Amino acid sequence: MSDLTFNKIAGGVLLTGLVIFGLREASSIVFAKPEVEKAGYEIAVQEEGAEGGAAAVEVLPDWNAVLTPANVAAGEAVAAKCVACHKFDAGNANGTGPGLWDVVGRKPAGHAGFNYSTAMKDFAGKTPVWDYDHLYEFLKAPGKYVSGTNMTFVGLKKSEDRVAIIAYMHSLGSTLPVPPPRPVAAPAPAE
């Protein structure tokens, strides 16, 4: 092989390497990735409310009236959204989230063997048990009710879904008694 042929081949290899390196550097300059503070995507959820006014005040349900067999069956269907992270069987094993057998009436952050977030441990210090009202509010928006929780689920927006899943969880080994019926509120006086 002559010196000229070797020079042509070496020059071609060198030029190819320079083009590849140059394109890689140019694309990293053009498509530079900014550093992010927190990994993930923020999902903005618009609160439903009256036409341009404040959101309507939600009244807690009368638990004595809504913990029915029909709601237990509906709650089992709603719980399908939760089985990716939680287990509902009597074995009460932990998954990505804690086991939810007998959760109604249990101390928050009290499932053995699960590593709860600091926010949930702080919440447990202020809340003696997971009662119906606390579960109802937590399931509405977990991240807002216990700010800093590791539970990334956005929540159940429909009141009937929250009532149904609480009725289902109550049927799973709960020892918390059903509260007595709430008295009917007196109608507002007519003017």
Among candidate residues 165, 115, 176, the one with its CA nearest the CA of residue 138? 165
The pLDDT tens digits of the residues spanning 46-101 come to 665 545 555 566 788 888 888 888 888 899 999 998 999 999 999 889 989 999 99
pLDDT value of residue 2: 75
pTM of the model: 0.67
Considering only residues 177 and 50, tell me which one the structure prediction assigns the higher pLDDT: 177
149 contacts 142 by C-beta, under 8 angstroms: yes
